[in-house]
Amino acid sequence: MKKLFNKKGVTFIVALFDSGHGEEYRYNFSSAEMESVYTQFLGWVLEEKTLGLVIKSKKPYILKTLPNIHPILKNAEETGRCICLPFGYYPAVAAQVADMVVGLSVSSAATEAVISGRRGIHYHSRFPENHEYYKLGHDKLVFTDLNKMMKALKEYKDNPASNPELGDWEPYFDFLDPFRDGRGGERMGMYFKWCLEGFDSGMNRYEIIKQANDRYAARWGDDKIIKVENDAIKLV
């Protein structure tokens, strides 16, 4: 992807991680909101000939059910500077080539990307103000105004020194991932094993979680156990 973009004269690449959309309450975005986001980013590709856009969609249906953006998406792809990754690729693939990652809602994909060393921001017009991400950097790490976010991105592309804190999570790496050792799968596998052992021994679910938490804390530290209540993160 990097070579393809370079051949097209791209000097700045954005990776966009979208989210579910629909009119039901369970979706983070209405279809109209998601359409607006895509219209802004695809329009930017058509306007700015040194911009590259990598789209990593969360589910195959998301783009298919936004028919109003299909013409502009086709035009953007025809420039050779907009690539939609097929479903099944990990977010890290898009993140590796990006200068900035944009995740919609509280994006685990964007969080994964910034832990790997990329700059990244989250966008949602209704991003919860009590969420730790919001507290760490509203209008720097989290945006709730689409136009303001696009303005910040464009200014950063033209002159990164104008806003060095945009998408910079490095001061918070210990909060996001205090380990950063690539052994997350091992730790979670162990945690699930303890849970299964609890079920097999006839414990109820509350006892199982408490025991697994206690064993995890004993091995990895009390500060590694957190609890989320109403989108607020706190230590257990």
Q: What is the C-alpha separation between 136 and 150, in angstroms, rounded?
A: 20
For residue 201, the model assigns a pLDDT of 95
Are 227 and 114 contained in the same domain?
A: no
3-state secondary structure at position 233 = strand
Q: Is 227 left (phi over 0), alpha (psi -120 to 50) or beta?
A: beta
pLDDT average per 10 residues of sequence, the chain (236 residues): 94 96 79 96 98 93 94 97 89 89 94 91 94 94 97 97 95 88 91 96 94 94 73 48
CA dihedral 23, 229, 121, 172 (to 10 degrees): -170
Q: How many domains does the chain have?
A: 2
pTM greater than 0.95 (yes/no):
no
Q: Within 13 Å and on the Cβ side, how many CA atoms surround 189?
A: 4
Are 171 and 201 contained in the same domain?
A: no
For residue 198, the model assigns a pLDDT of 96
Please check whether residue 95 is in contact with residue 15, taking contact to mean a CB–CB distance below 8 angstroms.
Answer: yes
Q: How far is CA 108 from the centre of its chain?
A: 5
Domain final residue, candidates 130, 145, 176:
176
For residue 164, the model assigns a pLDDT of 96
For residue 89, the model assigns a pLDDT of 81
Are 199 and 127 contained in the same domain?
A: no
For residue 230, the model assigns a pLDDT of 55
Residue 31, CA distances (Å) to 70, 114, 130, 157 in order? 14, 27, 25, 28
Are 193 and 153 contained in the same domain?
A: no
Please check whether residue 97 is in contact with residue 15, taking contact to mean a CB–CB distance below 8 angstroms.
Answer: yes
Print the domain residue range for 220: 184-235
Are 150 and 215 contained in the same domain?
A: no
- CB-count exposure of residue 58 (10 Å: 0-12, 13-18, 19+): buried
**Residue 171 main-chain phi, psi, to 5 deg:** -65, -15
Residue owning tokens 């990307």 = 113
Q: What is the C-alpha separation between 173 and 115, in angstroms, rounded?
A: 7
Are 87 and 144 contained in the same domain?
A: yes
For residue 178, the model assigns a pLDDT of 87
For residue 94, the model assigns a pLDDT of 85
| Three-state secondary structure of 34-80 | HHHHHHHHHHHHHHCCCEEEEEECCCCHHHHCCHHHHHHHHHHHHCC
